Structure 1
Amino acid sequence: MTIKLSQCFIAVDDHDKALAFYRDVLGLEVRNDVSFEGMRWLTVGSPDQPGVEIVLEPPLADPTASTADRQAMEELLAKGMLRGVIFAVDDVDATFERVRAAGGEVVQEPIDQPYGVRDCAFRDPAGNMLRFNQAR
């Protein structure tokens, strides 16, 4: 049996801001940008991983969710309490400088971790934690 990751989801509160960050700052390519029944299906991915997509979705894309549930999810997103993603990069210091120069919110400057990577961390425009790791 073969099993592979196909898609993962990152909650965003503004598709256009998210797209500008993930495409223009991180260099991911847009795979899909489709409107459907009042929603937007927006996916991005690394050119080096054609079979893996990141879906940029509203915090609660369930049309049956209550107003209270939607508000709770929006509050968690605003606090940076939802999903986090770790990207593997070949040069964490260059990545750090690129994201910082673009106005990324720095959470952690590049450091060598005891578990064998050099990494740094930022928040995306919606508040999600993004880490960038380089194997040592």
Structure 2
Amino acid sequence: MRINITSVFVDDQAKALAFYTDVLGFQKKHDVPVGGARWLTVVSPEHPEGTELLLEPDGHPAVKPYKDALVADGIPAASFAVDDVQAEHRRLTALGVRFTQDPLTMGPVTTAVLDDTCGNLIQLTQAE
């Protein structure tokens, strides 16, 4: 068994696609119209056949309160592994990304948390 697809709820799929590809560096994998939304996934360019991230529309009534509560409590909706959190923090900050937590080392892990502009906090993690 393996994880094939995971998702983050986004308030605007086009904006999310631009952020996750143009800023974070993921690649679009699938973009299929589904009614008024899209089945829209991105993947790591390092693992194009790996786990897909679905940019899921947040139209369900339960989603907004859920997302708002996570953000209010500083809880990331997803975590992405990076080789160097400090370098990613510098790169993304230069691109205008807002971080809610600057790089912080906690034992064998360094993390940082960013705002994805689509209603989510995303954690970057570097294992030592």
Q: TM over 0.5, yes or no?
A: yes
Aligned length: 124
Matched residues in 1 for 2:63 and 2:12: separation?
A: 14
Q: Which amino acid in 2 is paired with 1:134?
A: Q
Query: What SS class does the counterpart of residue 23 from structure 1 fall into?
Result: helix
Q: How much identity, in percent, do the aligned residues show?
A: 38
Determine the structure 1 residue equivalent to 2:119.
127
Structure 2, unaligned runs of 5 or more: none
- Residue identity opposite 2:44 in structure 1: S
Matching residue of 1:27: 25
Tell me the CA shift for residue 53 of structure 1: 0.2
Q: CA deviation at 1:73?
A: 2.5
* Alpha-carbon distance in structure 1 between the residues aligned to 2:93 and 2:66: 24
Do structure 1's residue 87 and structure 2's residue 93 form an aligned pair? Answer: no
Amino acid aligned to 1:47? P
Which one of 103, 110, 129 corresponds to residue 96 of structure 2?
A: 103
Q: 1:75 to 1:101 in 2, by over 3 A?
A: farther
Q: 1:79-112, CA deviations, whole angstroms, 9 ceiling, x for partnerless residues?
A: 5368611111111111111222222221111121
Per-residue Cα deviation, 1:21-69 (whole angstroms, up to 9, x for no partner): 10011110000111122221110010223221000011145xxxxxxxx
Gaps of 5+ in 1: 62-69
TM-score by length of 1: 0.81
Contact 2:26 2:44 survives alignment (8 Å)? yes
How many angstroms apart in 2 are the aligned matches of 1:58 and 1:77?
12
| Residue aligning to 1:52 | 51
**Is this contact kept in 2: 1:59–1:73, CA < 8 A?**
yes
Note if 1:77 corresponds to 2:67: yes
Query: Cα distance, 1:134 vs. partner?
Result: 1.1
| Secondary structure class of the residue paired with 1:30 | strand
- What is the CA-CA distance between 1:78 and the residue it aligns to? 4.6
Give the AA of the match of 2:119: G
